[in-house]
């Protein structure tokens, strides 16, 4: 088990590398990865089950302990990123399928990677986990509704079908994971450190399948999509931070909400895109999966070092006094 834990930790720390490596491999050798496509929904279900195993009832109780900041995080999640996505799709005059893909990932809840990044940034990890949990539970209603609102300008959107998909591949696995943790807490606690490995394998497989299905589209529009995805993510991080600062939340909360807003559940975006739209619609989510796992660690490392520097400065001041 310890060997698996070490492998899992290594996989989690080098996640961006594996996404980029297998993304490149699937681009140049698509035949080796297209077989994964029929299993995308299953893979996301496994990832969401793992997320459920990491959650506890306390993560939801925190909503009542600190309702203002949690509610602010959820509202920011479901307003900033969808509006940015719509604005960028309009500004860059994206092709309909690509525009819907950008909007779809913008309407998804935060991903579990945001919790790890918040921890590394010395932010309020408990807040990050709570916002992720609540926004994910609300996803079956809000993600289809917002996608219908913003994306129907480009393509027909079946909000009802998306609702059922999210319930099956997100809500049910998460609920099952929470129940199993409640029933077998000791056993789950022993194996929980292996879960990052499962998540990495699942998300890398999903991203690779999406790239393999869209090699020609990526070759022609990849740079444009990448530029939009980078802007979407960076602006989300920045605006999330500024809004949290405007509300005068403490700095740890500001960091948590910034990362929570900027990092999306791109695996869900890819799955919904493949299930309900053309394959190219999943490309923005796949690229987002790569990019936010580059920008997130960079920001988290910078904030983490700032925290250490300010902590040492505080200790030095105490010594002087």
Q: For residues 210 and 34, what is the distance between their CA atoms, to the nearest angstrom?
A: 8
Q: For residues 207 and 200, what is the distance between their CA atoms, to the nearest angstrom?
A: 11
Note the maximum CA span of the chain.
67
Q: How high is the mean pLDDT of the chain?
A: 85
pLDDT in tens, 144-179: 999 999 999 899 889 999 999 999 988 898 889 888
CB 204 within 8 A of CB 18: yes
Q: For residues 12 and 302, what is the distance between their CA atoms, to the nearest angstrom?
A: 19
Q: What is the pLDDT of residue 317?
A: 42
pTM, to two decimals:
0.85
Q: Which two tokens stand for residue 88?
A: 């960028």
CB 264 within 8 A of CB 114: no
Q: Which two tokens stand for residue 245?
A: 């600062």
CATH of domain 2-307: 1.20.1530.20
Q: What value, to the nearest 5°, has the Cα angle with vertex 226 and ends 225 and 229?
A: 85
CB 267 within 8 A of CB 203: yes
pLDDT at 260 over 80: yes
Q: How many CB atoms lie within 10 A of CB 222?
A: 16
Question: pLDDT grade, residue 268 (50/70/90)?
Answer: confident
Closest CA to 51 of 172, 186, 184, 229: 172
Winning range, highest mean pLDDT, from 4-8, 18-22, 24-28, 119-123: 24-28
Q: What is the pLDDT of residue 307?
A: 65
Residues 6+ apart with CB under 8 A from 163: 140, 141, 144
Q: Which two tokens stand for residue 136?
A: 């994910």
Closest CA to 286 of 6, 24, 11, 4: 24
Winning range, highest mean pLDDT, from 3-7, 65-69, 155-159: 155-159
Q: What is the pLDDT of residue 128?
A: 87
pLDDT in tens, 178-227: 888 888 888 777 777 777 778 778 888 888 888 888 888 788 888 899 99
Tracing tokens 């070759």 back to the chain, one arrives at: 219
Question: pLDDT grade, residue 318 (50/70/90)?
Answer: very low
Domain ranges (residues) in the chain = 2-307
Question: pLDDT grade, residue 12 (50/70/90)?
Answer: low
Q: For residues 199 and 120, what is the distance between their CA atoms, to the nearest angstrom?
A: 18
Mean pLDDT over 11-34 rounds to 82
Q: What is the pLDDT of residue 320?
A: 40
From residue 109, how far is each of 67, 71, 213, 258 by CA, in Å? 18, 14, 25, 14
Q: For residues 129 and 200, what is the distance between their CA atoms, to the nearest angstrom?
A: 18
pLDDT in tens, 38-49: 888 888 888 888
Q: What is the pLDDT of residue 278?
A: 85
DSSP-derived secondary structure letter, 110: B
Closest CA to 292 of 67, 59, 112: 112
Q: For residues 105 and 143, what is the distance between their CA atoms, to the nearest angstrom?
A: 9
pLDDT in tens, 283-303: 898 888 778 878 888 888 888
Phi, psi of 267 (to 5 degrees): -65, -40
Rg of the chain, C-alpha, whole Å:
19
């Amino acid at each position: 088990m310890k060997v698996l834990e070490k492998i899992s930790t290594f996989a989690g720390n080098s996640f961006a590398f594996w996404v980029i490596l297998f993304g490149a491999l699937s681009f140049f050798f698509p035949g080796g990865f297209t077989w994964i496509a029929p299993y995308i929904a299953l893979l996301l279900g496994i990832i969401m089950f793992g997320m459920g195993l990491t959650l506890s009832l306390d993560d939801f109780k925190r909503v009542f302990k600190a309702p203002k900041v949690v509610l602010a995080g959820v509202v920011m999640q479901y307003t900033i990123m969808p509006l940015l996505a719509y604005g960028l799709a309009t500004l860059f005059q994206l092709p309909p399928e690509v525009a819907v893909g950008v909007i779809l990932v913008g309407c998804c809840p935060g991903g579990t990677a945001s919790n790890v990044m918040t921890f590394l940034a010395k932010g309020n990890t408990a807040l990050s986990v709570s916002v992720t949990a609540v926004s994910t539970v609300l996803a079956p209603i809000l993600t289809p509704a917002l996608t219908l609102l913003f994306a129907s300008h480009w393509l027909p959107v079946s909000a009802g079908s998306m609702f059922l998909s999210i319930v099956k591949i997100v809500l049910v696995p998460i609920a099952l994971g929470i129940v199993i943790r409640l029933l077998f807490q000791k056993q789950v606690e022993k194996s929980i450190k292996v879960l990052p490995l499962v998540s990495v394998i699942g998300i890398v497989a999903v991203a690779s399948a999406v790239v393999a299905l869209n090699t020609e589209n990526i070759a022609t529009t990849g740079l444009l999509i990448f530029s939009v995805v980078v802007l979407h993510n960076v602006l989300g991080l920045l605006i999330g931070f500024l809004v949290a600062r405007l509300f005068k939340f403490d700095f740890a909360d500001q960091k948590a909400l910034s990362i929570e807003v900027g990092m999306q559940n791109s695996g869900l975006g890819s799955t919904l895109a493949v299930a309900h739209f053309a394959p190219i619609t999943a490309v923005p989510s796949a690229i987002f999966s790569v990019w936010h796992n580059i920008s997130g660690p960079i920001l988290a490392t910078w904030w983490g070092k700032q925290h250490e520097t300010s902590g040492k400065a505080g200790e030095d001041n105490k010594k002087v006094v």
